[in-house]
């Protein structure tokens, strides 16, 4: 069974040969895993095959002009988001900073440089899809279609949440402009792929560990209408939508289903109403799940034995009836011991098979 076949059967709530796997990791643990398996630092495909990964993200590369020049000690991406390198005991990461559109008015938002849908190379998409045709091919990412996250990275989270509650035109217009570009880019990439892409991947972190980030009314007023455009695009191309959301997000799942979103991603088990047993019991016959392996739990803080136990328990709950792909809830962090991550995938390979 190819990865594509495996994922399609699982997400159709049929029984594949085994549970599909995915892999997301920060650079430090990624390098350590490659060393562990005797792979070159750039051998991403080799690591995917060793771990048994079934998903591959298709990314039309940005080929447009540099819209926001880097400044000393800062990296600035195509949207104008500023990050700086922050060291920690396990390595380091690029953290958000400066927030150049904090408090910006509508005029400033309209003038803010953003990429054009013409600034991406769609011609590489067919060849890439053909080369990776055995994988389940995703288009998009957890930042596609999101509003709070990306806007928070450039305006600050407080500014964004207050803006949403107060119907601030500048805040809403930044989100709308960004999503217009992404929607057009995804449509052109899907058209170029000619039916080879399997899933549209969207995102919005809707919860904290303890509950919703925003009220259901606010979600329905401002966020759901934007996401509906992306869901409608997926429906046009005949593919399902997978929605990424960190934290406690099951309170929005009934709305997701009404919108045509049938796969949910991340599924942090320590967050409120996100335990695997709760999700499986309440939504297991209507939704599929991608995640459940906490990157803040025993993979990072426990032993190999703890990791094996957690993976086995998760599989026992989530496997029956299909509808599950095992994945880290976020990027595996650099503080995760190599042996724990290896144990995660070895245990999934052994106990994730349908017999």
How many Å apart are CA 8 and CA 5, to the nearest integer? 5
Question: How many Å apart are CA 126 and CA 26, to the nearest integer?
Answer: 28
Q: State the pTM of this model.
A: 0.97
Q: Is the pLDDT of residue 280 over 90?
A: yes
Q: What is the pLDDT of residue 253?
A: 98
- Asked if pLDDT for residue 117 goes beyond 90, the answer is yes
Q: How confident is the model at residue 71 (pLDDT cuts 50, 70, 90)?
A: confident
Looking at the DSSP assignment, which residues form a beta bridge with residue 201? 140, 242
Instruction: Compute the C-alpha angle 338/29/248, nearest 5°.
Output: 100
Q: Which two tokens stand for residue 113?
A: 């440089």
Mean pLDDT value across residues 4-18: 97
Using DSSP's 3-state secondary structure scheme, residue 33 falls into: helix
Report the CATH number of the 3-351 domain.
3.20.20.210
Cβ atoms 59, 50 nearer than 8 A: no
Q: Residue 90: pLDDT band by 50, 70, 90 thresholds? A: confident
Q: What pLDDT sits at residue 203?
A: 96
The predicted pLDDT at position 208 comes to 96
Confidence of residue 91 (pLDDT cuts 50, 70, 90): confident
Both ends of the chain: CA-CA distance in Å? 15
What integer pLDDT is reported at residue 52 of this predicted model?
98
Residue 355 has pLDDT above 90, yes or no: no
Residue linked to tokens 């309209």: 110
Give the per-residue pLDDT at 17.
98
Confidence class for position 48, pLDDT limits 50, 70, 90: very high
| Strands 241-245 and 263-266, sheet pairing | parallel
pLDDT tens for 242-260 read 999 999 999 999 999 999 9
Question: How much is the mean pLDDT over the chain?
Answer: 97
- For residue 107, CA distances in Å to 101, 116, 133, 254, 309 come to 11, 19, 45, 37, 55
pLDDT at 70 over 90: no
- Asked if the model's pLDDT at residue 92 lies above 90, the reply is no
**11-15, 66-70, 164-168, 275-279: which range is least confident on average?**
66-70
Residue 78 burial class via C-beta count within 10 angstroms: exposed 0-12, middle 13-18, buried 19 and up: middle
Contact 156, 122 (CB under 8 A): no
Closest CA to 139 of 224, 239, 47, 225: 239
Task: Answer whether 308's CB lies under 8 Å from 347's CB.
Answer: yes
pLDDT computed for residue 248 by the predictor? 98
Phi, psi of 138 (to 5 degrees): -105, 145
Q: Which residues have a Cβ under 8 Å from the Cβ of 72 and sit 6 or more positions away?
A: none
Note the pLDDT of residue 89: 86
Indicate if the pLDDT at residue 263 is higher than 90.
yes
- Please tell me the distance from the alpha carbon of residue 218 to that of residue 311, in angstroms, as a whole number: 36
Joined together, the tokens standing for residue 25 give 């990791």
- Percentage of the chain surpassing pLDDT 70? 100
Q: What is the mean pLDDT of residues 66-93?
A: 92
- pLDDT attached to residue 255: 98
């Amino acid at each position: 069974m190819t990865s594509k076949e495996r994922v399609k059967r699982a997400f159709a709530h049929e029984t594949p040969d085994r549970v599909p796997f995915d892999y997301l990791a920060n650079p430090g643990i990624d390098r350590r895993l490659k060393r562990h398996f005797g792979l070159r630092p750039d051998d991403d495909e080799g690591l995917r095959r060793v771990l048994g990964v079934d998903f591959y993200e298709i990314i039309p590369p940005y080929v447009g002009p540099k819209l926001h020049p880097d400044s000393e000690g800062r990296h600035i991406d195509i949207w104008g988001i500023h990050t700086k390198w922050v060291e920690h005991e396990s390595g380091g990461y690029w953290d958000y900073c400066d927030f150049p559109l904090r408090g910006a008015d509508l005029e400033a938002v309209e003038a803010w440089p953003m990429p054009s849908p013409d600034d991406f190379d769609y011609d590489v998409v067919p060849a890439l899809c053909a080369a990776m045709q055995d994988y389940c091919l995703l288009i998009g990412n957890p930042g596609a279609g999101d509003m709070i996250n990306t806007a928070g990275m450039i305006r600050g989270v407080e500014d964004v949440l207050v803006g949403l509650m107060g119907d601030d035109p500048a805040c809403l217009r930044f989100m709308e402009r960004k999503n217009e570009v992404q929607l057009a880019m995804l449509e052109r990439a899907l058209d170029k792929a000619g039916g080879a892409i399997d899933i549209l991947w969207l995102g919005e972190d809707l919860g904290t560990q303890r509950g919703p980030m925003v009220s259901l009314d606010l979600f329905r007023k401002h966020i759901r209408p934007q996401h509906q455009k992306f869901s409608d695009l997926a429906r046009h191309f005949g593919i399902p939508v997978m929605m990424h959301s960190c934290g406690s997000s099951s309170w929005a799942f009934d709305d997701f289903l009404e919108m045509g979103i049938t796969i949910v991603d991340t599924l942090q088990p320590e967050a409120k109403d996100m335990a695997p047993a709760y999700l499986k019991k309440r939504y297991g016959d209507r939704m599929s799940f991608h995640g459940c392996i906490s990157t803040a739990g025993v993979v990072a803080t426990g032993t190999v034995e703890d990791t094996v136990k957690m993976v086995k328990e998760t599989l026992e709950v989530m496997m029956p009836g299909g509808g599950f792909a095992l994945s880290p809830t976020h990027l595996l962090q650099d503080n995760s011991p190599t042996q724990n991550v290896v144990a995660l995938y070895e245990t999934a390979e052994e106990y994730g098979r349908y017999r």
